[in-house]
Chain A
């Protein structure tokens, strides 16, 4: 799995867009970028994943740079329920290696 680097914590005001960065400079061509989040004492929740192109679903958008060395997860209108630890993972097989993630706190 590709090594990823994320800031340990971020704050975002409720209602604003939350932009979570992730560096994955060693990602290989066949490795996807996955985003999961974990709310306290629950199992992780899948958010989105992509290979090269930007992706959008009902939860979030994923912007991947052209060189694939970094990406940004965007939660368009953050709510208090989005407070969680967000994990960015690079993987080309079925295995996921969880790092320490970014603890996102949504501020009322």
Chain B
């Protein structure tokens, strides 16, 4: 099956700093990538949809200036959490799809962010 990686797997940072998370599709070209956030004991919440070469589409309530998404190539999307605060501590998960109608999404292993 298709493989999606994320880096780093976990990160601890100080409040006010920015953190960049990478999402890569290793063996296929992903037209579309998604970013999710999952708080403890809760389900995944979609944050934004990212298409290669265009601006990301953010879900309602997600601040685009705080969560910067760049999808520079068909195999790489990055999420930067700017000026992180403790309430941004969460499990961030990306997924990728070929972008054809009805295609499944392949998920990365997730990145656990802890903001002190």
Contacts and interface: CB of A to CB of B under 8 A. Distances in A.
Interface of A: 32, 34, 36, 38, 41-46, 49, 51, 87, 93-101
Interface string B1-42: 100101000000000000000000000000010101000000
Given A94-B32, A95-B49, A97-B46, A46 B107 contact: yes
A41 B110 contact: yes
A49 B97 CA distance: 14
23 contacts: A32-B102, A42-B109, A43-B95, A43-B108, A43-B110, A44-B44, A44-B93, A44-B95, A44-B107, A45-B107, A46-B1, A46-B104, A46-B107, A49-B102, A94-B34, A94-B99, A94-B101, A97-B46, A98-B36, A98-B43, A98-B45, A99-B43, A101-B43
Contact of B43 (A42, A43, A49, A100): A100
A55 B36 CA distance: 27
A87 B46 CA distance: 14
Please classify how large the interface on chain B is, using the bins under 10, 10 to 19, 20 to 34, 35 or more. 20 to 34
